[in-house]
């Protein structure tokens, strides 16, 4: 699986210069058709934390474990100012074994985007200035 770190910061601001809606938009219009699950960042033991009018909706989705359409997630992201901690897993074509895309917001410091498809990550990478792409190890 390929991993992309997005680190764009506001010049001299020390804060990231993008939000969840920017990452969703960079994935392309097909992301609106995917099924998404919202959660905290399990590896870090953090519940989803966000600010803005959409924060309560993201927290409710985490608590319920409910699936949400990409278009509905995008609508919530448009009302969310910042995701401090959160994980967003996308599934395509009713495939629930493993996510097609994972987006992780990490402590308001950076986002990680994971995907099996390098072309998808290249599209996301082109939307941001400061990124690092890692490739899977050769087996």
The tokens of 102 are what?
A: 């994972």
Q: Does residue 126 register a pLDDT over 80?
A: yes
* Count of the separate structural domains present in the chain: 1
Residue 1 confidence class, pLDDT cut points 50, 70, 90 = confident
In a domain, 131, yes or no: no
User: pLDDT tens-digit profile of 56-93?
Assistant: 999 999 999 999 999 999 999 999 999 999 999 999 87
Mean pLDDT check: name the lowest of 42-46, 60-64, 95-99.
Answer: 42-46
What one-character-per-residue DSSP string does 10-76 give?
Answer: -TTT-SBS--HHHHHHHH-GGGGGSEEEEE-BGGGTB--EEEETTHHHHHHHHHH--EEEHHHHHHH
Average pLDDT, the chain: 91
Q: Name the pTM for this structure.
A: 0.91
In a domain, 5, yes or no: no
Question: What residues pair up with 22 in beta bridges, in sequence order?
Answer: none
Residue 9 burial by Cβ neighbours in a 10 Å radius (0-12, 13-18, 19+): middle
In a domain, 134, yes or no: no
CA dihedral for 19, 36, 59, 107, sign (positive or negative): negative
**What is the extent of the structural domain holding 96?**
17-113
Nearest to 31 by CA among 72, 85, 3: 72
């Amino acid at each position: 699986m390929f991993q992309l770190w997005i680190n764009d910061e506001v010049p001299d601001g020390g804060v990231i210069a993008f939000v969840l809606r920017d990452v969703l938009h960079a994935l392309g219009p097909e992301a609106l058709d995917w099924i998404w699950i919202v959660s905290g960042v399990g590896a870090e033991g953090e519940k989803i934390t966000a600010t803005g009018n959409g924060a309560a909706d993201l927290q409710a989705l985490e608590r319920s474990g409910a699936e949400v359409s990409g278009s509905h997630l995008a609508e919530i992201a448009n009302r969310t100012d910042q995701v401090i901690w959160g994980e967003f897993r996308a599934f395509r074509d009713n495939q629930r074994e493993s996510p097609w895309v994972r987006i992780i917001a990490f402590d308001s410091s950076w986002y990680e985007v994971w995907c099996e498809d390098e072309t998808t990550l290249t599209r996301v990478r082109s939307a941001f200035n400061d990124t690092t792409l890692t490739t899977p190890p050769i087996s």
